[in-house]
Structure 1
């Protein structure tokens, strides 16, 4: 973060510190907080201690690290309930996993990334893991491509110009023209795939969850190790995902 990006108001600085703590579930020191946020150490200390008093942040004396507090967890759970991620989405996603025997994931668009909001683990010994609350790239994940493909035209055009094409996996898309073509194909087919683009040895397929008015709400994905599932295997699961997405589009709150 550059000096010009540092919030100048107290609330903005406190939010910036809270977000940083949330990005470090195993804890972050005061000096690291100050350095990463660009907020002076004395101000960081005062603000993060205020967050501790409210239960949003927890101070761990051993190691002198700040970690997400239970208050932050409670807020996250309340937000998840408001969006229907737990109550409405979980039973549908569990059913998908029973049918596919692989992990089922859900993400929403969040700026120039997608945000993992729900995850159901598969029953097989080796599978795909996900952490709700974490961000993922748009250009090299099946859910990211779907969210791009079904975003409003002006949003899609803007993101296709701005997303960073970082080569995360051995087959990551690093050419903007190739990404545009891939997103166009996803819009035409109604689904997107990722073949070892985000992580080596991982394949995934995703479909959009559309609101009744046709706007995209989220992306729903099945992900599996490449040694167990070919891309054709995953594409064969698209009808299962689409049926679930249609149900979720009706059940999830219209926001």
Structure 2
């Protein structure tokens, strides 16, 4: 494998971790033999990896992979599985609502759309798989922000500049905070002209087996179709579908 122009510390760290693909446990001398990293530097790197949870040092002084990898592994598997689990429900939801259906997850400080089913309507709301959106804008991203741990949510709000994307984008941070509290209270989010003028969306959270919100499911379309009794009908549809996907992921109320 070529590592041209890569950070040498990162490369050495990866060399250490790669050894545990073939070895369950390794001693300091063994790691030094395989990596050829000077003992002092190697010990410093191993100590840092233990402190961060990437490695564990047992009572005998041997090293093994830490629980952090278990967490990351579960997260990656969860995110890969959710598309396959959600897709049949999304197809049914699209047929029931005849609106576009979107599935989004949190990726850093943005929402990323990982699955989409288009509506049969001639005029469609533009969203593509892989599209990113600010967490404060639109019903689907806002679900991810609303159900973040409080400290993370506040940090995001404090550090994020609210930029206008359309006529209805929330630009006041206190208004955003109030909206997030309401989303958590009712269990869904509604947006009108926040990321694109004359478009609306309704969204609901998807939970994993530990009760954590890991994705959001939404219906999106032209605002003229998201009003009155039909809006309430769409809210009920998306909440029911999100609960079904959550249940298939192991969530229990």
| Alignment TM class, shorter chain as reference | 0.5 to 0.7
For the structure 1 residues 11 and 253, does the alpha-carbon distance in structure 2 shift closer, same or farther, using more than 3 Å as the test? farther
Tell me the distance in 1 between the aligned counterparts of 2:100 and 2:9: 38
**Equivalent of 2:189 in 186, 189, 192:** 192
* 1:222–1:234 Cα contact (<8 Å) kept: no
CA contact (8 A) 1:105 1:119 kept: yes
Highest Rg: 1 or 2?
2
CA distance in 2, matches of 1:247, 1:135: 25
Q: Which residue, 102, 111, 114 being the options, matches 1:114?
A: 111
Equivalent pairs, count: 182
TM-score, normalised with respect to structure 2: 0.65
- Deviation beyond 4 Å, 4+ runs, structure 1: 79-82
- CA drift of 1:8 comes to 6.6
Q: TM-score, normalised by structure 1?
A: 0.65
Runs of 5+ unmatched residues, structure 2: 11-75
1:138 to 124, 135, 152: 135
User: 2: CA distance between counterparts of 1:10 and 1:107?
Assistant: 35
Q: Does the Cα contact within 8 Å between 1:114 and 1:144 map onto a contact in 2?
A: yes
1:26-45 correspondence runs (5 A): none
Shift in Å, 1:141? 0.8
Q: Structure 1 residue 235: deviation in Å?
A: 3.4
SS in 2 for 1:119: strand
Aligned-pair Cα RMSD in Å = 2.5
C-alpha contact 1:115 1:136 (8 A) present in aligned 2: yes
Partner in structure 2 of residue 128 of structure 1: 125
Specify the alignment match of 1:220 in structure 2.
217
Which deviates the most, 235-244 or 102-111?
235-244
Q: CA deviation at 1:238?
A: 1.7
Q: How far off its partner does 1:11 sit?
A: 11
